[in-house]
Amino acid sequence: MAEYLAKRSPNRCPSHPGAVLADILPETGRTKSKIAELLGISRQHLHDILNEKKPVSPQMAVRFGKLLGGSAETWLRLQVAYDLWHAERETDVSHIKPLKVA
C-alpha cells in the first residue's frame, strides 16, 4: 500500500484547536456543559475556545490531553501552527534587515 504525506497548502490557515475539539466532542456523548465541568472550566471558557475566540493555553492543553487522551503537546502544536500562520501574515517585518553572521 502506498503512503501519502498529508500536506496542507501554505495558503490555507491551519485549524484552530477549538475546531478540532468541536469535531471530537460529539463523539464523547457528553454535553458541552459536562465537558466544561470535567475540565474544571466555565461553559463560557469552553464556548470561547470552540468558537476560536480564545487560544488553547498550556494549562488547557494539559487538561484536554488528560480528558481526551493523547498529549498536551498535540494541542499546543495545533495552537502554535494557527498563531504562527496568522503572525506571519499580520506582522510587518519589512523594516527589519537580517543580520549577517560572521
pLDDT of 35-66, one tens digit each? 999 999 999 999 999 999 999 999 999 999 99
Contact 49, 18 (CB under 8 A): yes
**Residue 100 in domain:** no
The structural domain count of the chain equals: 1
| CATH code where residue 83 lies | 1.10.260.40
- Dist CA 82 CA 16 (whole Å): 6
**Residue 59 in domain:** yes
**Residue 82 in domain:** yes
Segments forming the whole domain that contains residue 71 = 17-88
| Residue 19, C-alpha cell as written in the block | 475546531
- Dist CA 38 CA 45 (whole Å): 13
**Residue 41 in domain:** yes
pLDDT digits (tens, 9 = 90+) for 70-81: 899 999 999 999
**Residue 10 in domain:** no
Statement: residue 6 has pLDDT above 70: no
**Residue 11 in domain:** no
- Dist CA 22 CA 20 (whole Å): 5
| Residue 24, C-alpha cell as written in the block | 471530537
Q: What is the pTM assigned to this prediction? A: 0.85
**Residue 97 in domain:** no
**Residue 35 in domain:** yes
**Residue 15, SS3 per DSSP:** coil
Burial pattern 36-61, b for ≥16 Cβ within 10 A else e, equals: beebebeeeebeebbeeebbbeeebb
